[in-house]
Amino acid sequence: MLPEASARTERVQFAHDSEAEFARILDFYGISWLYEPRSFPLRWEDDRILEAFTPDFFLPDLNLYVEITTLRQKLATEKNRKVRLLRQLYPEINVKLLNKKDYLRLVAKYGYGPPDAKKLPDIDRVLFSAGQIQRRVHELGARISRDYRGKSPVAVGVLKGVFFFMADLLRHISLPVSVDFMAISSYEGDSAGAVKILKDLDLHIVKEHVLLVEDIVDTGMTLNRVVERLRSQRPASLKVCALLDKRARRLVDVHLDYVGFEVPDEFVVGYGLDYRQRYRNLPFIGTLKQELLS
Ligand code: 5GP
């Protein structure tokens, strides 16, 4: 049995800087890892192990052991031999020997590519990787499909932040679903204003089963307003599905029927969510550097 995959870089003594760097990259992308969790005997005589190999990392999400090569060719050749032997003796084990180029490509699979300070100047850290989001959205879609079995719900999204989530969620709902969108004004320091409906529903929802889909619920004020508006049109039922719940900041107590992830009290961007209209197209959800918001 392997230990819990919750190791963080600061709690682990790494043998080499390259391993610490790899762990930091995995942390940045929200990929869980274990450092040297298991040794594989490679040669033995009776009960005595003559040679063993301990890969540097195990990545539970990928079911993959990773060994990182250093730059010295002699060491790399020796590691190659051990990895070949490990594959022969334990064919069920996935193991990869990575040079620097390889491992940057591996993390790129999980999102935006290797962290590059010039490309992502405002992102502090990744909260949910593209892979984590997809898995959670799949689960939510399966639950909604079960709960609405035999019905044809109307999914209503509130623009713009919800467009990634809506598109992915609907692909995991195995029911005939109608889709509509609303757009509302957001508060911009105008004390005379109230939430305005900029785009109302095209569909009639009287006696329909409505699933309101939201990107993030913060104070709850927006959602509360939208729920009131939808209720006034007398749907048969109304449930709310929010990808992110920033519960710590709630002012209006709105009931959420389905929640993707709870998020801390920080400003988040990506996967549809913006900061001054930027970052919506990031495939992961990350937090912004604090200094940008102060
Ligand atoms: P609420 O009315 O619940 O306070 O705010 C909801 C709306 O505020 C969301 O639909 C979203 O547009 C915006 N919002 C709240 N928190 C965040 C955040 O952390 N990041 C981004 N990009 N938008 C947020």
Closest atom of ligand 1 to 161 CA is: 12
**3-class SS at 148?**
coil
d(CA 106, CA 125) in angstroms, rounded, equals 18
122, 289 Cβ separation under 8 angstroms: yes
Cα(288) to ligand 1 centroid in Å equals 14
Cα(216) to ligand 1 centroid in Å equals 6
Nearest residue by C-alpha to atom 8 in ligand 1 = 218
Q: State the catalytic residues.
A: 218
Cα(100) to ligand 1 centroid in Å equals 38
Closest atom of ligand 1 to 267 CA is: 19
CA-to-CA dists, residue 29 to 14, 80, 245, 248, angstroms = 19, 27, 21, 24
Residues of the chain within CATH 3.40.50.2020 domain(s) are 130-293
Which positions of the chain have pLDDT values less than 70?
A: 1-10, 28-30, 70-75, 100-121, 186-195, 290-294
| Closest residue by Cα to residue 173 from 155, 185, 186 | 155
| CATH number for domain 130-293, candidates 3.40.50.2020, 1.20.120.330, 3.40.50.300, 1.20.1250.20 | 3.40.50.2020
d(CA 47, CA 41) in angstroms, rounded, equals 11
Closest atom of ligand 1 to 222 CA is: 2
For the chain, the distance separating the N- and C-terminal CA atoms, rounded to the nearest angstrom, is 46
Domain 3-114 sits in CATH 3.40.960: yes
Nearest residue by C-alpha to atom 15 in ligand 1 = 218
pLDDT of residue 97: 84
* Residue in this structure with the two tokens 């079911």, named with its chain if needed: 63
**pTM, full prediction:** 0.69
Closest atom of ligand 1 to 224 CA is: 2
Strands 197-199 and 178-184: antiparallel
CA-to-CA dists, residue 35 to 54, 60, 132, angstroms = 10, 11, 21
Residues of the chain within CATH 3.40.960 domain(s) are 3-114
pLDDT of residue 187: 59
Cα(257) to ligand 1 centroid in Å equals 18
CA-to-CA dists, residue 266 to 88, 157, 254, 293, angstroms = 48, 23, 20, 10
Closest atom of ligand 1 to 263 CA is: 19
Nearest residue by C-alpha to atom 20 in ligand 1 = 268
Nearest residue by C-alpha to atom 10 in ligand 1 = 216
Determine the distance from the C-alpha atom of residue 156 to the mean position of all C-alpha atoms in its chain, rounded to a whole number.
23
Residue of 156, 216, 251 to mutate, ligand 1, most atoms within 8 A of C-beta = 216
Length of the chain as a residue count: 294
Nearest residue by C-alpha to atom 16 in ligand 1 = 218
Cα(149) to ligand 1 centroid in Å equals 31
Residue of 262, 273, 275, 288 to mutate, ligand 1, most atoms within 8 A of C-beta = 273
pLDDT of residue 153: 98
Cα(183) to ligand 1 centroid in Å equals 14
List, chain by chain if needed, residues with CB within 6 Å of any ligand 1 atom. Answer: 161, 215-223, 246, 267-269, 273-275
Strands (DSSP E) contained in 48-205 are 48-53, 57-59, 64-68, 95-98, 123-128, 154-159, 178-184, 197-199
